[in-house]
C-alpha cells in the first residue's frame, strides 16, 4: 500500500492493520519532485533544478540498496546530502552515495549537518567496540547487522568512508537548490546534533527521528543523554509552521495539516507530561525509585499507533529526565559507593541458606512479580557464577521476562541476560 494511504488509514482508524515501519528499500513518490525510500533509516529525495537533495543516507548495510532505488527514479546528480543527525543508520550508507557519484563522474554532494555531528562520528570511532556491543545487546544479543566487517577482520560501527559534513551550522541554516528553499533548524532531542528541515513554499517537513512511529527514543538505557523537554518544544515549533506533509526517517510519511498536527502535538504532550511530573517529584525531594514507580503514561496514549512503546519506553525516558536534571545517583545511600555485586549476592545467599534458595524463590515469583524474580535471579547468579542449574534457571527467568516486555530495548537486554546465563550453564555442565 502507498505509505501515505497507509498512514492516513492507520491514524484515522487508530488501528494497526499493517506494519508501519517498513524496511523494503523501495522508493515511493510522495509528491511531484519528492520521493521516499523506506529503509533503516529512510532516505527522502527532493528533485530540484540543481540536482537531488537527499535527506539521510540510511545505514552501512542498506545504503547501496537505497541508492539503487533512488536511481530508478532519477539520474540527476545528488548535489546535497543533509544528515538529520549522526546516528549510524542515518550516515552509515553515505559511502554508497559517494561511490555512486564517482561511478557517474558526478561531483560529490555537499554534506550539510549540525556542527556537533563531526564530534559524534569521532566518538563512535573512539568507542567502536562498545557501540557494536550495545547495539548487539539492544537487538537481542546476537551479532548484529549494524556493523561493517572488513577484510582484515575488524568490524566498524561507522564505515571509514562515511562522508563528513562540508557545511555545518548551529541554530539554523537556509539554502536554495534551483528555486527550492530549504530551511534547517537545530534542536536537541534524540541527539545533541539533531535537525529538522522545512520547505516553506511547499509546507513539507522532514522530521528526522523527532517522529518514528513509536514512543520517542528519549530514554535509551545504553546511550548518551537525550533531551525530552527540548524535543517537545521543537515539535510545538514544527506545528506552528503548519506542515501539510511530514516525512519522518522511520515509519510512514503523513499528509494533511490536522493529522500531522495531531501526531506532533500528541508526541510533544506526552514528553511534556513526563518532564513536568519528574521535575515536580524531584523538587519534592523524591528518590528516583519513587519517581520511576510513581509515574505512568495513560494506556490510551500508548495505544496510539504512532506512540506504541515498542522500541523505547516511558520508564526509560523518566530516567533520562532525572539524569539530565539530577545526575546519575539514584538517591539510595548504599548505591552511591556500592559493594561488589558478587559480594552482595554471596552475602544474601549465605543468609538465606544458599543460592539455590534464592533461585527457587525467583522461580516461584516469576508469574506474580517478575521484576522481583529477576533481582533474586541476579543475586543467585552473582553468588554462584559457574553453577549450571542456577544459570539455567536464570536463563529461563529472563526468557520469560523478555516475553512480557513490550520494547525492543527491554527485550534485547533481557534476551542478552538469558544468553549470558545459558552459555554459563552450557560451559559448566
Ligand atoms: Zn534513526
Instruction: List all residues 6 or more positions away from 275 whose beta carbon is below 8 Å from its beta carbon.
Output: 228, 229, 232, 321
Q: Is 413 helix (H, G, I), strand (E, B) or coil?
A: helix
What's the 145 CA to ligand 1 centre distance in angstroms? 15
**Whole-number pLDDT of residue 144:** 47
Question: The whole model's pTM is what?
Answer: 0.95
Selection from 115, 116, 132 nearest residue 169 by Cα? 115
d(CA 303, CA 13): 12
**Whole-number pLDDT of residue 139:** 72
Q: Is 170 helix (H, G, I), strand (E, B) or coil?
A: coil
What's the 182 CA to ligand 1 centre distance in angstroms? 21
**Whole-number pLDDT of residue 149:** 67
CB atoms within 10 A of CB 67: 26
**Whole-number pLDDT of residue 25:** 97
Instruction: List all residues 6 or more positions away from 345 whose beta carbon is below 8 Å from its beta carbon.
Output: 355, 378, 379, 380, 381, 382, 383, 384
What's the 218 CA to ligand 1 centre distance in angstroms? 12
Domains and CATH numbers, the chain: 3-267 (3.60.15.30), 339-428 (1.25.40.880)
- Cα-to-chain-centroid distance, residue 67: 23
Q: How far is CA 136 from CA 6, 128, 270, 297, in A?
A: 31, 12, 29, 28
What's the 192 CA to ligand 1 centre distance in angstroms? 14
What's the 269 CA to ligand 1 centre distance in angstroms? 21
Per-residue pLDDT of the chain (429 residues; tens, 9 = 90+): 999 999 999 999 999 999 999 999 999 999 999 999 999 999 999 999 999 999 999 999 999 999 999 999 999 999 999 999 999 999 999 999 999 999 999 999 999 999 999 999 999 999 999 998 888 887 765 554 556 666 677 788 899 999 999 999 999 999 999 999 999 999 999 999 999 999 999 999 999 999 999 999 999 999 999 999 999 999 999 999 999 999 999 999 999 999 999 999 999 999 999 999 999 999 999 999 999 999 999 999 999 999 999 999 999 999 999 999 999 999 999 999 999 999 999 999 999 999 999 999 999 999 999 999 999 999 999 999 999 999 999 999 999 999 999 999 999 999 999 999 999 999 987
By residue count, the chain amounts to 429
Q: How far is CA 259 from CA 2, 96, 306, in A?
A: 17, 35, 12
What's the 267 CA to ligand 1 centre distance in angstroms? 16
**Whole-number pLDDT of residue 28:** 98
**Whole-number pLDDT of residue 339:** 98
What's the 53 CA to ligand 1 centre distance in angstroms? 19
What's the 330 CA to ligand 1 centre distance in angstroms? 29
What's the 132 CA to ligand 1 centre distance in angstroms? 16
Q: What is the dihedral of CA 266, 268, 270, 276, to 10 degrees?
A: -150
Instruction: List all residues 6 or more positions away from 115 whose beta carbon is below 8 Å from its beta carbon.
Output: 168, 169, 170, 193
What's the 248 CA to ligand 1 centre distance in angstroms? 9
**In terms of DSSP bridges, do strands 148-149 and 195-199 run parallel, antiparallel, or are they unpaired?**
unpaired
Q: How far is CA 122 from CA 131, 152, 361, 367, in A?
A: 12, 21, 47, 45
What's the 85 CA to ligand 1 centre distance in angstroms? 8
Using an 8 Å Cβ cutoff, are 46 and 53 in contact? Answer: yes
Q: How far is CA 315 from CA 11, 230, 248, 289, 307, in A?
A: 25, 18, 24, 11, 14
Using an 8 Å Cβ cutoff, are 84 and 139 in contact? Answer: no
Amino acid at each position: 500500500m502507498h505509505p501515505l494511504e497507509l498512514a492516513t488509514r492507520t491514524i484515522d482508524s487508530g488501528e494497526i492493520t499493517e506494519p508501519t515501519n517498513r524496511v523494503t528499500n523501495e522508493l515511493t513518490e510522495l509528491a511531484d519532485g519528492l520521493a521516499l525510500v523506506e529503509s533503516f533509516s529512510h532516505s527522502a529525495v527532493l528533485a530540484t533544478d540543481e540536482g537531488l537533495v537527499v535527506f539521510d543516507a540510511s545505514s552501512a548495510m542498506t545504503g547501496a540498496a537505497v541508492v539503487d532505488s533512488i536511481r530508478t527514479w532519477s539520474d540527476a546528480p545528488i548535489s546535497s546530502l543533509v544528515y538529520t543527525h549522526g546516528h549510524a543508520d542515518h550516515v552509515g550508507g553515505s559511502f554508497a552515495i559517494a561511490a555512486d557519484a564517482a561511478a557517474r563522474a558526478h561531483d560529490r554532494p555537499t554534506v550539510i549537518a549540525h556542527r556537533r555531528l563531526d564530534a559524534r562520528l569521532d566518538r563512535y570511532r573512539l568507542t567502536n567496540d562498545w557501540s557494536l556491543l550495545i547495539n548487539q545487546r539492544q537487538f537481542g544479543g546476537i551479532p548484529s547487522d549494524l556493523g561493517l566487517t572488513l577484510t582484515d577482520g575488524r568490524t566498524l560501527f561507522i564505515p571509514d568512508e562515511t562522508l563528513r559534513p562540508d557545511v555545518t551550522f548551529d541554530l539554523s541554516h537556509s539554502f536554495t537548490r534551483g528555486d527550492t528553499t530549504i530551511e534547517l533548524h537545530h534542536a536537541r532531542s534524540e541527539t545533541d546534533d539533531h535537525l529538522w528541515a522545512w520547505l516553506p513554499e511547499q509546507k513539507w517537513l522532514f522530521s528526522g527521528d523527532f517522529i518514528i512511529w513509536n514512543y520517542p527514543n528519549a530514554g535509551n538505557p545504553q546511550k548518551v543523554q537525550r533531551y525530552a523537554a527540548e524535543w517537545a518544544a521543537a515539535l510545538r515549533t514544527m506545528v506552528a509552521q503548519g506542515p501539510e506533509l511530514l516525512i519522518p526517517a522511520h515509519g510512514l510519511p503523513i499528509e494533511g495539516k490536522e493529522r500531522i498536527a495531531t501526531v506532533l502535538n500528541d508526541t510533544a504532550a506526552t514528553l511534556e507530561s513526563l518532564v513536568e511530573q519528574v521535575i515536580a517529584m524531584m523538587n519534592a525531594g523524591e528518590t528516583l525509585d519513587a519517581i520511576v514507580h510513581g509515574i505512568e503514561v495513560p494506556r490510551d496514549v500508548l495505544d496510539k499507533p504512532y506512540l506504541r512503546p515498542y522500541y523505547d519506553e516511558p520508564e526509560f525516558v523518566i530516567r533520562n529526565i532525572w539524569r539530565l536534571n539530577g545526575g546519575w545517583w539514584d538517591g539510595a545511600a548504599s548505591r552511591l559507593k556500592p559493594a561488589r555485586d558478587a559480594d552482595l549476592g554471596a552475602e544474601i545467599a549465605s543468609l538465606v541458606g544458599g543460592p539455590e534458595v534464592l533461585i527457587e524463590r525467583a522461580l516461584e515469583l516469576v508469574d506474580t512479580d517478575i521484576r522481583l524474580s529477576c533481582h533474586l535471579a541476579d543475586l543467585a547468579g552473582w553468588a554462584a557464577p559457574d553453577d549450571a542449574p542456577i544459570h539455567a534457571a536464570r536463563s529461563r527467568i529472563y526468557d520469560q521476562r523478555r516475553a512480557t516486555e513490550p520494547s525492543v530495548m527491554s527485550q534485547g537486554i533481557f534476551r542478552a541476560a538469558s544468553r549470558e546465563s545459558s552459555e554459563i550453564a552450557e560451559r559448566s555442565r
